[in-house]
């Protein structure tokens, strides 16, 4: 092992990138979570043998290139939708993104290295692991807001297969679960600092944190019952329209009729829908400019209910300056728009071009005009429905930013179009982020996607019904009520994990200051 840790040059670089790829295999939807212990434990070992700040930074950066390159490779599918226009970006975009976002991992390992750079070599490794986990969590938080934020594939998401473990986000949030996850997976490195029977003890101890998280979550769910709102049945429409034909003028009427047909299909059971929900930009016509589209949508609206759909909303004809919003609208049975929400967290290069005057990269979506951002999280009141917080596409991935705290809603509605990315890990990674918001807020989640996966959960994040990826289908589902109590994280936000982060940082420094008889080199 010592010889491996002393590797230099391209061999060291490839190994670090490979360790990042190991952690990718633990992400949704693969979930080979033992590989996270190999990846994170290996990263810690390399970092622990760095002698300079430059070495420490490069160690994390190379790991991050593997982690984000492998974890986001599916973004290349978006450039294949219109290959004549965007195909040239395929060999550039994901590597550039991995190199750029990987800098956060470089800063993580640099921060950890600085926090124990002056440690004597015979001091407790557990203290260094604690500080490493704190540094990782701190940089995940920075990544969630710097340059508009990109908190994709947080370490917490490797537990997306377990409703029990995800329950901890109701207290600590996803940042807190990431902290415990990094702590648990990095503890595997201490195996190489032990001898004899102590190795077996370490091998078992790395499972303690996941076991405790699972047990506490299982206890929380043991007697968790779900109540539903009376006379509220939602029809989730998944039209499964290919992105290549979604905006094609030759297919727009056909696509629109698909939405109408799915909405008018008689219910398959005893539940008659009171409200119909369609995905992001399901209606490709601007409803505020096309009265015949409003009339058609009114004709399928259940009596006393509404059709809720995504649509590109535009300024009325003749009004200047011309603006476009990625919007959600609710339409009643007489064809009136009774509620509107505009997406506020826009996707760079998808909905606007950063530094447009100097940037040659074309926008992925149709049209030359950048979308205009909305004002922020809102709580909408729609006839026949409990109050709702709408979120369009990746707005759902930001912990603590999915509701208006001044007017707390009773459920979360996420409309999205993951059809850009095909049947890749992307839609499943997106889904788990959405489910974690449900647990953090204690609110039911309704997620309606163009190509899938569409789901409805209760306030514990447990799936009540779903539509698999890549099928054209609808499902009629009653809406669960929110939890009786507001979860700790939803009430206190970042303070819950921030306080833990501070305490563990102090504890890590204390442990480093204590002498120990452990080996100073790995075996």
* pLDDT over 90 percentage in the chain: 75
Asked whether residue 501 carries a pLDDT value surpassing 50, the answer given is yes
Asked whether residue 204 carries a pLDDT value surpassing 80, the answer given is no
Mean pLDDT of 53-70: 97
Mean pLDDT of 275-290: 95
Mean pLDDT of 23-39: 97
- The whole model's pTM is what? 0.94
Considering only residues 289 and 503, tell me which one the structure prediction assigns the higher pLDDT.
289
Give phi and psi for 330, each to the nearest 5.
Answer: -115, 130
DSSP 133: H
Asked whether residue 69 carries a pLDDT value surpassing 70, the answer given is yes
Asked whether residue 496 carries a pLDDT value surpassing 70, the answer given is no
For 243-274, the pLDDT digits (tens) are 999 999 999 999 999 999 999 999 988 889 99
Q: If we measure between CA atoms, which residue out of 386, 393, 397, 289 comes closest to residue 350? A: 393
Catalytic site positions? 280, 343, 393
Q: If we measure between CA atoms, which residue out of 296, 298, 284 comes closest to residue 338? A: 298
Element (H, E) at 455: strand 454-457
Specify whether the CB–CB gap between 67 and 24 falls below 8 A.
yes
Specify whether the CB–CB gap between 399 and 370 falls below 8 A.
no
pLDDT at residue 349 in the model: 80
* 505 band by pLDDT with thresholds 50, 70 and 90: confident
Q: What CA–CA distances, in Å, run from 222 to 170, 213, 226, 232, 436?
A: 16, 14, 12, 26, 19
Mean pLDDT of 187-193: 84
Query: Minimum mean pLDDT among 87-96, 118-127, 212-221: which range?
Result: 118-127
Query: Minimum mean pLDDT among 210-219, 240-249, 360-369, 381-390: which range?
Result: 360-369
pLDDT at residue 124 in the model: 74
Asked whether residue 127 carries a pLDDT value surpassing 90, the answer given is no
Q: β-strand 454-457 against 463-467: which pairing, if any?
A: antiparallel
Contacts of 79 (CB under 8 A, 6+ apart): 86, 87, 89, 90, 93, 364
Considering only residues 519 and 505, tell me which one the structure prediction assigns the higher pLDDT.
505
Asked whether residue 389 carries a pLDDT value surpassing 70, the answer given is yes
Tokens matching residue 231:
């006379």
For 405-442, the pLDDT digits (tens) are 999 999 999 999 999 999 999 999 999 999 999 999 99
Taken in order 400, 403, 408, 410, the sign of the CA dihedral is negative
Asked whether residue 470 carries a pLDDT value surpassing 80, the answer given is yes
Q: Where are the beta strands (DSSP E) in 281-336?
A: 306-314, 324-331
pLDDT at residue 356 in the model: 63
């Amino acid at each position: 092992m010592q010889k491996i840790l002393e590797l230099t040059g391209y061999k060291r670089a490839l190994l670090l990138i490979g360790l990042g790829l190991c952690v990718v295999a633990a992400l949704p939807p693969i979930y080979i979570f033992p590989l996270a212990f190999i990846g994170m434990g290996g990263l810690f070992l390399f970092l622990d043998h760095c002698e300079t700040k430059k070495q420490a930074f490069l160690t994390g950066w190379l790991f991050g290139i593997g982690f984000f390159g492998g974890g986001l490779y599916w973004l290349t599918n978006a450039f294949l939708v219109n290959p004549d226009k965007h195909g040239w970006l395929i060999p550039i975009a994901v590597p550039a993104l991995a190199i750029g976002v990987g800098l956060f991992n470089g800063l993580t390992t640099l921060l950890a290295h600085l926090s124990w750079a002056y440690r004597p070599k015979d001091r407790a490794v557990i203290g260094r692991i604690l500080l490493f986990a704190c540094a990782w969590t701190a940089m995940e938080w920075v990544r969630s807001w710097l340059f508009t934020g990109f908190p994709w594939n947080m370490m917490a998401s490797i537990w997306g297969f377990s409703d029990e473990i995800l329950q901890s986000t109701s207290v600590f949030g996803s940042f807190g679960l990431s902290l415990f996850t990094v702590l648990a997976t990095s503890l595997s490195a201490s195996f190489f600092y032990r001898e004899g029977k102590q190795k077996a003890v370490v091998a078992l101890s790395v499972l303690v944190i996941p076991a405790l998280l699972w047990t506490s979550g299982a206890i929380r769910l043991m007697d968790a019952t779900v109540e539903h709102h009376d006379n509220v049945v939602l029809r989730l429409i998944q039209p499964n329209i290919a992105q290549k034909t979604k905006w094609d003028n030759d297919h727009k009427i056909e696509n629109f009729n698909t939405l109408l047909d799915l909405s008018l299909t008689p219910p398959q059971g005893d539940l008659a829908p009171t409200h119909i929900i369609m995905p992001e930009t399901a209606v490709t016509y601007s409803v505020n400019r096309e009265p015949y589209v409003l009339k058609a949508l009114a004709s399928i609206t259940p009596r006393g209910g509404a059709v809720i759909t995504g649509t590109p909303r535009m300024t009325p004809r003749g009004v200047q300056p011309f603006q476009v919003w990625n919007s959600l609208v609710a339409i009643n049975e007489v064809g009136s728009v009774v509620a509107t929400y505009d997406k506020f967290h826009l996707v760079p290069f998808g909905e606007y071009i950063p530094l447009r005057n100097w940037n040659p990269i074309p926008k992925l979506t149709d049209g030359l005009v950048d979308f205009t951002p909305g004002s922020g999280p809102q709580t909408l009141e729609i006839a026949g429905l409990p109050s709702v917080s709408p979120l369009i596409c990746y707005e759902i991935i930001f912990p603590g930013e999915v509701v208006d705290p001044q007017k707390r809603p009773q459920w979360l509605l996420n409309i999205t179009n993951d059809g850009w990315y095909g049947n890749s890990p992307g839609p499943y990674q997106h889904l788990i982020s959405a489910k974690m918001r449900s647990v953090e807020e204690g609110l039911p989640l309704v997620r309606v996607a163009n190509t899938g996966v569409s789901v409805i959960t209760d306030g514990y994040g447990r799936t009540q019904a779903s539509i698999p990826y890549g099928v054209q289908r609808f499902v009629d589902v009653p809406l669960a009520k929110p939890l009786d109590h507001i979860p700790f994280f939803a009430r206190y936000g970042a303070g819950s994990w921030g306080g833990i982060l501070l305490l563990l940082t102090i504890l890590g420094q204390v442990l480093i200051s204590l002498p120990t008889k452990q080996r100073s080199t790995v075996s």
